[in-house]
Structure 1
């Protein structure tokens, strides 16, 4: 295995922490996109690849089932097919600075993955993601491209003038509804 190389060791790209595997990763991603059969519904989320050795890309995330390993941003279909992915490296040379400025560091790879999809014009994608990625800028951008986006929004990402009910009131209302359901179940 020590003689197997994916990149030329005499020409390292020190800005890319995965430079030794980058040609192999790019070929895999090209094959994923080549064999992808467009589906209407797709999700974008982070995924952990278990790894306990030493590497500058290794992450530790407390409270996750896989706490040590590589974090990957992944775009998947509902059947579980990996359409595209990107290794999280922290600060790296491959990032799209305009997208980072507009959508944040977590959602920027998502938008650049959407740029690479085939059949984009004829397929109105419905995209799902969690609150790490959701922001008004991203949702507006998806709408402009003809996509639908669904995700929960963190309170600190909402505009100040956006009317929202108080979080404490909604939790109290939820408890009241749950209590009413429990009382009705006792009666029956």
Structure 2
């Protein structure tokens, strides 16, 4: 939220913060964001072959190197013409769709579906384009459109019971087994964007500013931190998983990860000394990164950080910390090893 005036600010009635910037995001199932576009207004859109929504969607796909991807989207992007176009250029896609975007397709109303049990489905397929519309009843009706998957094969899933009998049960007994269509099962991969939004909102950089572009910068900064943490966590799981679990070390949480980045950036440049009392704590990442940690001679003797003996050897990077470097002991090497 910002009080600064900007032509790109939008009134978003369905959002917790009504005034803000509309952002289109393409993210993977893991939550890693690969492409971001800020909505700049209807007048700034150059081509409108697929409409405002469709053209914004296609711009997010420009950075994809090949079409061997399955694309999932919410009902804001769900236009039948866009789904058909994605089928023509080789993309498989699925997403929820609003009632007013069914292109005249007649599906059972929610009142009719309530007569049946949970898991009942009504669907239609356009033979010429092979686009399928599926309306599945859970606690309410959910309508999806897809160009590569429809109803079969079905499976079962556990959902909260919606009948009066189920509501009177205990919480542990209220979940029931219902039928689930194939397109509903595939749509679970849509959660990547929601995961990214949730992680950004956890520790958002809420710095007050009257400059609207600073709010966009803070969003990009938070997005970069979340992307970095997700990649770091994936790295720990895939590469060092055995080492982490054997030594009872788990990947650091997001808050600690963001704090460590702030500490590393704060201590990364020590060439210019600032006036005032020097800081006594050093960043662990700067200490152990193995980059530009060189010994240098100081004017006065100081206490060694390891053995507490006096020495003139200082670390050129770690805020001038004194460390012994003599034949009898090598505190300089011990300090910079993990």
**Which residues of 2 match residues 42-121 of structure 1 at below 5 A?**
50-100=1-51, 105-114=52-61, 116-121=62-67
Q: Secondary structure at the residue paired with 2:81? A: helix
Q: How far off is 1:184 after superposition? A: 7.2
Aligned twin of 2:88: 144
Gap runs ≥5 in structure 2: 119-138, 140-160, 174-338
Tell me: CA distance 1:142–1:178, structure 2 relative to 1, closer, same or farther (3 Å).
Answer: farther
* TM-aligned CA distance change 1:130 to 1:118, over 3 Å: closer
Question: Retained in 1: the 8 A contact 2:10–2:19?
Answer: yes
Maintained 8 Å contact 2:11/2:20: yes
Higher relative contact order (CA 8 A, sep 6+): 1
The 2-side partners of 1:170 and 1:153 are apart by 17
Larger Rg: 2
Does structure 2 conserve the Cα–Cα contact (< 8 Å) formed by 1:126 and 1:149?
yes
Q: 1:118 to 1:127 in 2, by over 3 A?
A: closer
Shift of 1:112: 2.2
Query: Residue 96 of structure 1 contacts residue 109 of structure 1 at CA under 8 Å; is this kept in 2?
Result: no
Query: How many Å apart are 1:172 and its aligned residue?
Result: 5.0
Structure 2 contact 24–36 (Cα < 8 Å) conserved: yes
Shift of the 177–94 alpha-carbon distance from structure 1 to 2, 3 Å rule, reads closer
3-state SS in 1 of match to 2:53: coil
Unpaired runs of 5+ residues, structure 1, are 1-49
Q: How many angstroms apart in 1 are the aligned matches of 2:27 and 2:47?
A: 21
- TM-score, length basis structure 1: 0.57
After TM superposition, list the pairs within 5 Å mapping 1:159-174 onto structure 2. 159-160=103-104, 162-173=105-116
Match of 1:179 among 139, 148, 164: 164
Q: Provide TM-score, normalisation by structure 2.
A: 0.34
Aligned twin of 1:156:
100
Query: C-alpha separation between the residues in 1 aligned to 2:10 and 2:89?
Result: 33
How many residue pairs get matched? Answer: 130
Deviations 1:57-92 (A, max 9, x none): 111223413322111111112233322222212223
The CA RMSD measured in Å over matched residues stands at 2.8
Matches within 5 A, 1:32-43: none
